[in-house]
Amino acid sequence: MAPHSETSSQDIRTFSRPSSPNFPTKSPQSLQFKSQVVASNSAPSHNLSNTMHLTTANHTNGISRDSEKPRLIPGVYVPTTAFFVRGTEDLDLSTIASHALRLARSGVTGITTQGSNGEAVHLTQSERSLVTSTTRHALDKAGLAHIPLIVGCGAQSTRESIELCRDAADAGGSHVLVLPPSYYKASYGKRELLNYFRDIASASPLPVLIYNYPGAVAGVDLSSDDIVSLAKHSNIVGCKLTCGNTGKLCRIAAVTTDATFEKQHGRKAPFLTFGGSADFLLQTLIAGGHGTITGLGNIVPKTIVKLYNLYNGGQVAEAQELQKVVAAADWAVIEGGVVGTKAALEACFGYGGVARKPLPRIDDEEIAQWGSRLRECADLEKKL
């Protein structure tokens, strides 16, 4: 079930893969659907009747000239989960939309689609675009057009990644997040890996964030020198470090936030360095990083936002205590992956559903076990 029960007879709740290979078209205006958009019981109400126009990128040689895209700023970002209908594994658009609103109204800075939690590798290209456009539509309709929407666009070839970046722009994304390729790892040298990111950034209509996650790409691990070198490209605007190396994070942030670096390389926007897990959010901020892009935020977004705000408000001792609770909860999510995250959502908040096969199905007892591991943090979340 979705986070809230308010419904409309006109809601379209699922997406079955269409018979026509040409559906959906790239422009979000052509995706005629109405997702469930409901207010959070614990958040200020918004006028949901004001549907905002979805603009697509105006491409000139592949680069967007749309100046109205949300800006990337420091804060807490959540790589949202994709939701499926039990039994059919069709996309559950209603829950995708309402979950995005729950996150946005919890105070997170931005949302990511097509990340590891979003099961991008389990989606067709048309489904990827539909998840992103559904999320953007829900945010805009709720008056939340200022929320950045980062879209995962990594692929094994430079060409496909660029195509995904263009699809992301057409679906309403504001930025893209790109993993390094890994299938032909033995044949890549440093030059090929760095040129992969530079070529994508030069062609992408949206600004690019580097995604350093060795566990997902056969151990490919970009060094701080690699990322600093890539940060000289004007369309590469940040990085997500799921490697957990806070020393690397500190070195990158120290160099790229220096005014001399920005001036020397003609950067029009600062390069932002994010940690990839909430279990080292406090360490990230102390080291000079700009926030986190964390899967735990799907379950306890308000708690992570509170941790971020405590540190930035100078309440370091309180932040340390909360970091202990967050780190314990995040370890459960890290161990459980997508399945554990959905199980914890189901146990603690009544929705989550299944992951696509071949990821395992878990029974009610296992769902309860995952819920118990998140209980302390989830109970705190409900009080905020």
The H or E element containing residue 261 is helix 259-264
Contact between residue 12 and residue 33 where contact means Cβ atoms under 8 Å apart = yes
Tell me the C-alpha distance between 67 and 20, whole Å.
34
Q: Which residues, in sequence order, are CB contacts of 47 under 8 Å at separation 6+?
A: 143
Structure-token pair, residue 210: 């580097």
From 69, 240, 248, 306, active-site residue: 240
Q: What is the distance of C-alpha 274 from the center of its chain?
A: 12
Locate 254 and state its tokens. 């120290």
Considering only CA atoms, which of 326, 343, 359 is closest in space to residue 121? 359
Angle ∠(291,297,302) on CA atoms, nearest 5: 85
Decide: 282 and 319 in contact? Cβ < 8 Å: yes
| Beta-bridge partners for 172 | none
Confirm if 73 and 292 have CB atoms less than 8 A apart: no
Neighbours of 23 (CB within 10 A): 12
Burial of 67 (0-12, 13-18, 19+ CB in 10 A): exposed
**Active site (annotated) includes residue 232:** no
Positions annotated as catalytic residues are 240
